[in-house]
């Protein structure tokens, strides 16, 4: 079963990923992502690591659009 990732968490991770790629990740951004991952894990009953892995997969390695085929 796929983990439901809230839009605000995806937006936070996208910001962090952009900062990482620019070599400018801030402690504040990283801490905000980790805090939200922890909250989502607690709310959903999923493990924190499973939420983080699903998030990174969704943001950093998105599936190709089905419409592109």
User: What proportion of the chain, given as a percentage, has pLDDT over 70?
Assistant: 91
Give the model's pLDDT for residue 19: 98
pLDDT tens digits, residue range 24-54? 999 999 999 999 999 999 999 999 999 999 9
Q: Are 29 and 16 in contact (CB under 8 A)?
A: yes
Separation in Å, CA 8 to CA 20, 30, 34, 49, 67: 18, 14, 13, 18, 25
Alpha carbon distance 5, 19 (integer Å): 20
Give the model's pLDDT for residue 47: 97
Tokens of 50: 């499973």
Predicted confidence band of residue 62 (pLDDT cuts 50, 70, 90): confident
Give the model's pLDDT for residue 6: 97
């Amino acid at each position: 079963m796929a983990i439901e990732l809230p839009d605000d968490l995806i937006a936070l991770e996208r910001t962090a990923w952009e900062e990482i790629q620019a070599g400018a990740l801030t402690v504040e951004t990283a801490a905000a992502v980790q805090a939200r991952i922890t909250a989502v894990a607690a709310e959903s009953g999923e493990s924190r690591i499973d939420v983080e892995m699903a998030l990174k997969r969704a943001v950093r390695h998105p599936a190709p659009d089905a419409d592109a085929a």
